[in-house]
Structure 1
Amino acid sequence: MKIFKKNLVKMTMKMVGSLALFLGAMVIVPTSLVGSHQPKCPDELLK
């Protein structure tokens, strides 16, 4: 029973880690794509 519980916890943690990495990639990629576009600053503000 202890071995089964240990393996179940290990498998659950592995799935949670994979899910966290997947969701992190889903959030980071669109944010970085949108963030890469920087509006041009007018020349009057640069003086």
Structure 2
Amino acid sequence: MKISKNYLLKKAMKMVGSLSLLLAALVIVPTSTLGGYQPKCPDELLK
């Protein structure tokens, strides 16, 4: 019983870890691409 409990715990932790990595990738990729975009500054502000 203890062996199967440890096995299930390890399996659940692996699933949680991979799910968190997937969610992190889904959050980081759009924000980094949007962060790379810099709008043009109007010429009157540069003077």
- Residue equivalent to 1:21: 21
Q: What is the RMSD of the two structures over their aligned residues, measured on CA atoms?
A: 1.2
Q: Percent identity over the alignment? A: 70
Q: Which runs of 5+ in 1 are unaligned?
A: none
Aligned length: 47
**Aligned structure 1 segments of 4 or more residues deviating by more than 2 angstroms:** 40-47
TM-score (norm 2): 0.85
Task: Please list the CA deviations of residues 1-47 of structure 1 after superposition, one character each: whole Å capped at 9, or x if unmatched.
Answer: 00000000000000000000000000000111111101123345445
TM-score (norm 1): 0.85
Q: Which runs of 5+ in 2 are unaligned?
A: none
- Residue equivalent to 2:7: 7
